[in-house]
Amino acid sequence: MGTVTAPWKQLLLNALESNSHLKHSSYVQLATIGSNGRPSNRSVVFRGFHENSDNILINTDTRTRKVEELKHCPFSEICWYFTDSWEQFRINGRIDIIDGSNPDSEKLQIREKSWFASSPRSRLQYLGPYPGLPQLSEEPQETSVDPSAGPVSEFCLLVLDPEQVDYLNLKTNKRLMFTSTQSQIGEKCWTSERINP
């Protein structure tokens, strides 16, 4: 049976709530396809859902390899394991890359909002040297960001639009597969099925 709101979202919100005492509960592993055709996998921070949707927000630096990789192949799977409640969410979908050059003013507003929602400390990261290049200097860069200044050009917002969610509870051994389809009027509909763990 299809529903219009994502039925896995409440499970995820519950898991976030019951694991909220752990700083790392918002850390997820994001898999992409590397330029060499091999899998690539790293931890990123979940920055919430976009408004009332089930779209997942992730901040990153335009200069990181994942942005390059997502330009070639926009698909990704997040693996999110909650260490206290023993729940795993595998969230598969397409990622929209929103950098400062995006022509869509509405998307640029979402990017700006995510910039101001991040801490001054995490905003500083985007002023650091090019990620992944050989480190030339030992000294930490003494820089500061004007708290009222908008996003720097290195700041990039990733928006993951989930298409399939594989939920596993290791305490109860319950596993559910959530699959989305597009309705005739373009609305996303979700169905779920209990599958063997």
Q: How far is the CB of 18 from a second copy (least distance, A)?
A: 15
CB-facing half-sphere around the CA of 102: CA atoms within 13 A: 22
Q: Does 129 bind a second copy (CB under 8 A)?
A: yes
Question: Site for a second copy (CB under 8 A): which residue of 41, 109, 181, 183?
Answer: 41
Q: How far apart are CA 86 and CA 11, in angstroms?
A: 13
Task: Annotate 28-61 with b (16+ C-beta within 10 A) or e (fewer).
Answer: bebbbbbeeeeebeeebebbebbeeebbbbbbbb
Answer for which of 4, 21, 43, 101 binds a second copy (CB under 8 A) is: 43
Give the DSSP letter of residue 3.
B
Nearer to a second copy, 53 or 164 (CB): 164
Per CB under 8 A, 131 contacts a second copy: yes
Minimum Å gap between C-beta 7 and a second copy is: 17
118 near a second copy, judged by CB under 8 A? no
DSSP state of 101: T
Nearer to a second copy, 42 or 71 (CB): 42
- Cα 118 from Cα 120, distance rounded (Å): 7
Distance CA 61, CA 67 (A): 8
Q: State in angstroms the smallest separation of the CB of 91 from a second copy.
A: 9
Does 115 bind a second copy (CB under 8 A)? Our answer is no
Q: Do residues 19 and 25 lie in contact, with contact meaning Cβ atoms separated by under 8 Å?
A: yes
For a second copy, which is the closer residue by CB, 51 or 193?
A: 193
Say which residue the tokens 């969410």 belong to.
Answer: 89
Decide: is 49 part of the binding site for a second copy (CB under 8 A): no
81 belongs to the binding site for a second copy (CB under 8 A):
yes
| Site for a second copy contains 1 (CB under 8 A) | no
d(CA 160, CA 110): 13
**Where do contacts with a second copy occur on this chain (CB under 8 A)?**
22, 24, 27, 29-34, 37-43, 73, 75-79, 81, 83, 88, 90, 92, 128-135, 140, 173, 175, 177, 193-197
